[in-house]
Amino acid sequence: MIETAEMRVQADEIDYDQETGYTEARGHVLFEHFEWGERLEADRVEYVIGEETGKFYRVKGTTPAQLGARPGVLTSTSPFSFQAAWAERIKNRYVLHDGLLTNCKLPRPWWSLRSSRIDIIPGDRALGYRAVMRLRFVPIFYAPVLYKSLEERPRRSGFLTPNIGNSSRRGLMLGAGYYWAIHRSYDATYRLQYFTQRGPAHHFEFRAKPAREWDGSFLVYGVNDRGLKLASGERIKQGGALIAGDLKGRLPKGFRVFGDVNYLSNFQFRQAFTESFTEAVFSEVHSIGFATKSWSSYSLHFVAQRNENFQSTAEGDKILIRKLPQAEFRSIDRELSRRILPLWFSVEASGGLVRRTQPLFQTRNVMDRVDFAPRVTTALRWRDFHLLPSFGIRETHYGERQTPAGRVVGANLTRHARDFQLEFTPPSLERVFAGPKWLGEKVKHVIEPRFNYRYVTGVADFTEMIRFDETELLSNTNEASISLVNRLYAKKGGVVHEALTWELWHKRYFDPTFGGAVVAGRRNVVQSSAEMTGYAFLDAPRRYSPVVSALRLNPVPGIGVEWRTDYDPLRREIVNGTLTADVRIREYATSFGYSRVACVPQGSLSQQVSCQDPAVKKLSPPSNQLRSAFGYGHENKRGWIAGFNSVYDFRTGVMQFAATQVTYNTDCCGFSVQYRRFGFGTRNENQFRVALSIANIGNFGTLKKTERMF
């Protein structure tokens, strides 16, 4: 055996020339290099120790794996294995002749790369010439020159692996791309995908990190659509473009900058070509950019914002709201005095130029809006009783107003609102019981009541204000609310967790019209109702809100259930409800989400009115949907893993979305097959996607990591 600080050679026979450093080893030769961890076995080795060069005959060896654990990439601790008829080492470089490379177990690897010549620099890169990739013994890919980075954070320009797939609406899908490493701080990717039935799709992405505290990205996706062919032979064109970008960084004087820009040419394009069900049914596009600074109890923001809400797929049927520019100043509660009573002061102020555009309605390009809302709060405490009164004013100026006929006129409008609030919190009630064994040794039940009163006046022209955001939802009100929270804590093995929470809240309106803001026979939204529940319920003057119930169960780790309902005492029914359940037991996971919005005729309490009549206006669009998901395993589990998720609409009796994925992971790679089904609007599409995942390297195929379940 010969050993130096850099390497070690062990064999049955070794000849060594001390003057030249020439070494010849024969019989069961073991060669180890300590810097990169290579370990080689050969029949015969000729090596010059001082020059770090040599030849290896009938060689096989391993080099440690570079673990680049990241979401969507299969990881393994298996080293890269290689073998060759003969190999040579030149300094820090190995050249394999008639070689094989894999990170699977030999002698029957799941995948292998065979090449007439493989040039490897450990920790840097590997080059294969006339390389053939095989699954078992079946060749699946050939490349005249194949490059693979072995760096911990690789960045190298080059062509991306081509992909192929199939869709019932797009036809055969062929794709290829190029990655350009412009600089260590900039890169760009271009992908071209051709749909045989629809046309080409272009995807361009640029990323930058010019400084430690600055980074951003820019993306463009578009389809030159030939059109969806109908049974009549006509084509409906659904092409378009999506532009998105984000930016964040830090400016002098403590300011931070954030930006998130999104532009969608038309909603029909999103519904036809997006691969995400959630994105396809989301009809809003938001863009915002702002610079912000916070110090002490204050914050200052400069905002530019653009919100687009598509009402349908028809061209131009959308609502556009823009704020450019707008300045906002806020101060959270700041203590002013403690002499007789504690006194806190807070303020919110904003001013800027706004615009709203929609069919048959628009403001001028630069309408001014200024809002100023200071508030004073104090507190009275006796034992465990707390009383928190507060008083505020809100002055808002608008450069335009809306007439009862719906026209926008250039007359100024100023709102003078006064707001008094009183919050009363009595002491909580609690008791400790002996608990059941499955829940814990001890159980504590806590009841937390809370009462609130609010009086707002001065909003006499609610219907004349043009809606831009929640600022315009403030209305006159005279109301009281009560909430009751039941909590059940369980103690097991010295650990306490909240096993059950049941919260109920309800409001009583002493002013059923909210100062004239509520108009009978139409859907009304004011600040009081929006704070109560996310579902509309004001279609006429009323004195009672729905009773909102939220029940959350977490009896044991891995199980969570939430049931939320809105019970309307005027209609004597549950008008809205959601139920979600998530369970994970070892490798098994399931999730359910059921939501129902009752069909409530607008402005009518009669049960005789039919919601099936198209002429009947609904308070909210009725909905009855079930979301379900099942899964077994996780992305790095060896063996079989599988998942299924779906969205089913009971009203239409249609499975709007379904996806099933089956994956088999070996010690070094994984095979995935996914079936996806879209069925909503005009989209009726089936997709089949496949992928090969090689541990510590990446994924190949048409199943993108953003679309994978594992």
642-696 pLDDT, tens digit per residue, is 999 999 999 888 999 999 999 999 888 888 999 999 988 778 888 888 888 888 7
pLDDT reported for residue 454: 97
CB-CB contact of 430 with 446 (8 Å): yes
* Residue 566's pLDDT band (cuts 50, 70, 90): very high
Taking alpha carbons only, the member of 73, 18, 12, 81 closest to residue 43 is: 12
pLDDT reported for residue 577: 93
pLDDT reported for residue 30: 92
175 has pLDDT over 90: no
pLDDT reported for residue 420: 97
488 has pLDDT over 80: yes
- List of residues 6+ apart from 144 with CB closer than 8 A: 129, 130
pLDDT reported for residue 231: 79
* Residue 19's pLDDT band (cuts 50, 70, 90): confident
pLDDT reported for residue 380: 93
Reduce the DSSP state of residue 529 to 3 states and report it: helix
DSSP string, 626-651: EEEEEEES-TT-SEEEEEEEEEEETT
* Residue 608's pLDDT band (cuts 50, 70, 90): low
Task: List helix spans (H) across 485-611.
Answer: 527-532
110 burial type by CB count under 10 A (0-12 exposed, 13-18 middle, 19+ buried): buried
Other residues' Cβ atoms within 10 Å of the Cβ of residue 543: 12
160 has pLDDT over 90: no
71 has pLDDT over 70: no
Q: Out of 13-27, 61-75, 585-599, 682-696, which region has the weakest mean confidence (pLDDT)?
A: 61-75
Provide mean pLDDT across the span 393-416: 91
Percent of the chain residues topping a pLDDT of 90:
52
Q: Out of 222-226, 235-239, 277-281, 539-543, which region has the weakest mean confidence (pLDDT)?
A: 277-281
Q: Out of 44-58, 391-405, 407-421, which region has the weakest mean confidence (pLDDT)?
A: 44-58
Residue-wise pLDDT tens digits, 122-142:
767 788 899 898 888 888 888
Provide mean pLDDT across the span 302-327: 91
Q: Name the more confident of 188 and 610.
A: 188
Task: List helix spans (H) across 521-677.
Answer: 527-532
Residue-wise pLDDT tens digits, 381-390:
998 899 999 9
DSSP string, 336-378: EE-SSS-EEEEEEEEEEEEEEEETTEE--SSEEEEEEEEEEEE
Which tokens in the block code for residue 482? 């009560």
Which tokens in the block code for residue 402? 């809306």
Q: Which of 105-114, 163-172, 648-657, 684-693 has the highest mean pLDDT?
A: 648-657
CB-CB contact of 620 with 600 (8 Å): yes
CB-CB contact of 688 with 288 (8 Å): no
Q: Which amino acid is at 372?
A: F
Q: Name the more confident of 630 and 80.
A: 630
Q: Where are the chain's structural domains?
A: 2-154, 164-560
Report how far residue 10's alpha carbon sits from residue 605's, in angstroms, rounded to the nearest whole number: 92
68 has pLDDT over 60: no
pLDDT reported for residue 244: 95
Residue-wise pLDDT tens digits, 457-466:
999 889 899 9
126 burial type by CB count under 10 A (0-12 exposed, 13-18 middle, 19+ buried): buried
pLDDT reported for residue 69: 54
pLDDT reported for residue 603: 66
- List of residues 6+ apart from 653 with CB closer than 8 A: none
CB-CB contact of 686 with 168 (8 Å): yes
50 has pLDDT over 70: yes
Contacts 24+ apart (CB under 8 A), 463-467: 463/402, 463/404, 463/516, 463/517, 463/519, 464/401, 464/402, 464/403, 464/413, 465/398, 465/401, 465/402, 465/413, 465/415, 466/356, 466/363, 466/367, 466/398, 466/400, 466/401, 466/402, 466/408, 467/356
pLDDT reported for residue 453: 98
pLDDT reported for residue 570: 87
Average pLDDT, the chain: 89
Other residues' Cβ atoms within 10 Å of the Cβ of residue 312: 12
pLDDT reported for residue 378: 95
CB-CB contact of 562 with 551 (8 Å): yes
Assessment of whether the complete model's pTM goes beyond 0.75: yes
Which tokens in the block code for residue 332? 């959270």
Residue-wise pLDDT tens digits, 177-213:
999 999 889 999 999 999 999 999 999 999 999 988 9
Select the CATH number that applies to the domain covering 2-154 from these four: 3.40.190.10, 3.40.50.720, 3.40.50.2300, 2.60.450.10: 2.60.450.10
pLDDT reported for residue 64: 76
Which tokens in the block code for residue 443? 């159980």
